[in-house]
Amino acid sequence: MDVEKTVKKMTLEEKAKAVEGNLVWFTQAYPELGIPEIQVSDGPHGLRKMYGEGKTITSVCFPAASASACSFDTELLEEIGHTLGKECQAENVGVILGPAVNIKRSPLCGRNFEYISEDPYVAGKLSAALIRGVQAENVGTSIKHFAANNQEFERMYGSSEVDERTLREIYFPAFEIAVKESQPWTVMCSYNRINGTYSSENPWLLTDVLRKEWGFEGLVMSDWGAVSDRIAGIAAGLDLDMPGSGGVNNASIVKAVQEGTLSEEALDAAVANILRMVDRFVSGRKEETFDPEADHAKAVDAAKECIVLLKNEEKVLPLAKEEKVALIGGFAESPRYQGGGSSHINSFRVVSALSVAERYGAFTYNRGFSPEKDETDEELQKEALAAAAEADKIVVFAGLPDVFESEAYDREHMQLPACQNRLITQLTTLGKPVIVVLHNGSPVEMPWADDVAGIVEAYLGGEGIGEAVMDVLYGHVNPSGKLAESFPRKLSDNPSYLNFPGTGHKVNYAEGVFVGYRYYDTKQMDVRFPFGYGLSYTDFRYANLRVSRDSFTASEGVTVSVDVTNTGDRAGKEIVQLYVADRTGSAVRPVHELKGFCKLSLEPGETKTATFKLDSRAFAWYDTESGDWYAANGSYTIEVGRSSRQIEYTAEVHIIGSREKPPVITPDVQLGELLQSPYTREYTMERMKKYMDRFRSNANETEEMVEAVVRFMPLRSLRSFLQITNEEIDSIVTDLKEHVEKQLQK
């Protein structure tokens, strides 16, 4: 299709209709112009293709993002993407709606199960990998929800009040990385407002940042029903309104163009972006067969890579075949393996732990509690306790019922159902090792954590989670997942606690850049389990940390490598993490930030090298005054380790040659800032010496106090203390500005 020629052939009315969806899941078709419709489908951890009256096809459910993120495995995510892309081709679906990369600001967000991480670098790298896989099959993705959509409460109306530095450092990078590395076919804008402006009609967000700064080349679509003002949306860069207005907006668009309140060029650009997407899919159609058996096996294998071993006291795991094991809890029979809402999959085959348990060893099973509600059944608990008393080891399958976390509403607390906590606590009094397997989409409080011997975090691991869990419990698989989010001890420890979910239709992101481990680690706060944490059945030794250079310019960057050896007796995988700590004092920053990760597969005795290449962004923070990323000259610490709290080796490096930040010259600028800046130090010492000497001679205080007062005194204060005229102050400010401008031009 020649898109430009086709757009020129279209009438204004046809263009107005083309920029909205048709029948909920389709784009508009114009057969006479050679424009077919294409279908989009919910995702992102399985194909949720709709047909008929609210029906969905049978599909394969892969681990939700909360689980797959714990693999820290870009190759795995890319392979899942390939599989999803092939399924889409087999079902004639042009775009799958995902991945979802909104940051886990609070553990309470009802949709956290389908978000990747509290860390933007992890979310960006893993989502870019998934996108590459899907789009390699000539199927589009729709990375979502852009931006600052971090709760379900008032998500369609509320305003996320976020300063620009926080947006740039925390809530934008996952989208930015994915756009620059993988170019998703579409970006889905969020429902919410950002600082008062709806995302769907925000030109700074959709055009200035997304297209002009990041180079996005695709289509911007709305979330379903996210459009407020369609005319403002088109002007801002929103191409496709989904699911559409049923024609209600068409006349308004035509009228706006005719009256000149909307340029036809903006409408043409939106239509062209839609037609390019349609043509891209149609011209690249592939013959694929959806093989649910093969894809189910892939889902099982994926789940095995995502499970996190959180506690293994006295090596209670893996279980031995000859041990008598009591399986307890309704989740053993009916695992919670996916979240609720738009990502809910009509799954091909759900494998529970109980359904495959006989393969592994001797066991008994008692329900103990329902997986669907918080309701204590005294008889069920009594039977479970009796069976557990006769076992060698006890495995409790616990978790959050579906009604506890879902799209459309947030959680009210971080607790498991009380009936589960009660039974687990009772089981710990039997004198037998207790292992808890968790099925949950986000962190939970664990009042029994110190009393159980083992904890296995299965998250929502997809339809094969039962088999994957049993393989881990019995050592057929060595667990290798690590947490992509922190587990605080209690909800009130979370940095967003006082500002979630907000009031007055606004939510204040008062914690700024201190989200997740950035807050806990900087505060040196005790957590239940830190970011990046996870155990293995083998041991790893780190050695020989190397940096390619000790000093470098930010644009040159640095290469870091470390050797990792498997010192245990079985094969395993280790996720090596690299953090950067800014020691320059140029801004208030977290104590460290993740800037690299690498998953190594190692046989017993084998050594491999993890290598990281750090560019300028690995060291930079966003300077709103200059509107750019800034890495100050000075010292930085490279930290390499097993988690954010288990750093094995560090190395000090230095950045040189960066621009120094000149002070903002106004009557309010402090004398100390002028004396510290290389741009103004010499001038200030010469021009201000007489004023400063006069101030010191007039002050009847200690030299230390006078120095401190002068250091923090703004220029304007000289009027009061030394009776300097306004004209003299204005002259100093003007001369200083000219002096700085000349230096910057050198």
Question: What is the rounded CA–CA span in Å between residue 216 and residue 218?
Answer: 6
The answer to whether the CB of 543 falls within 8 A of the CB of 565 is: yes
What residues form DSSP beta bridges with 22? 26
> Number of C-alpha atoms within 13 angstroms, CB side, residue 358?
1
pLDDT at 430: 98
223 annotated active-site: yes
Q: Residues 100-135: pLDDT tens digits?
A: 999 999 999 999 999 999 999 999 999 999 999 999
pLDDT at 200: 98
- Across 586-598, average pLDDT: 97
Helices assigned H by DSSP within 563-625: none
Question: What is the rounded CA–CA span in Å between residue 460 and residue 351?
Answer: 13
Percentage of residues in the chain having pLDDT higher than 70: 100
The answer to whether the CB of 442 falls within 8 A of the CB of 66 is: yes
How many beta carbons lie within 10 A of that of residue 425, not counting itself? 14
The answer to whether the CB of 308 falls within 8 A of the CB of 347 is: no
The answer to whether the CB of 118 falls within 8 A of the CB of 594 is: no
Tokens at residue 167, please? Answer: 């947006």
Helices assigned H by DSSP within 183-291: 203, 230-236, 248-259, 264-283
Amino acid (1-letter code) at residue 373: K
Q: Residues 414-473: pLDDT tens digits?
A: 999 999 999 999 999 999 999 999 999 999 999 999 999 999 999 999 999 999 999 999
Q: Residues 348-390: pLDDT tens digits?
A: 999 999 999 999 999 999 999 999 999 999 999 999 999 999 9
pLDDT at 315: 98
pLDDT at 120: 98
pLDDT at 693: 74
* pTM for the structure as a whole: 0.96
Of 73, 119, 223, 279, the active-site residue reads 223
* CA angle 355–358–360, rounded 5-degree value: 115
- Which pLDDT band holds residue 197 (cuts at 50, 70, 90)? very high
Q: Residues 624-683: pLDDT tens digits?
A: 999 999 999 999 999 999 999 999 999 999 999 998 888 889 999 998 888 888 888 888
Give the CA distances from residue 54 to residues 15, 39, 51, 243, 346, in Å, rounded to whole numbers and listed in that order. 29, 15, 7, 15, 12
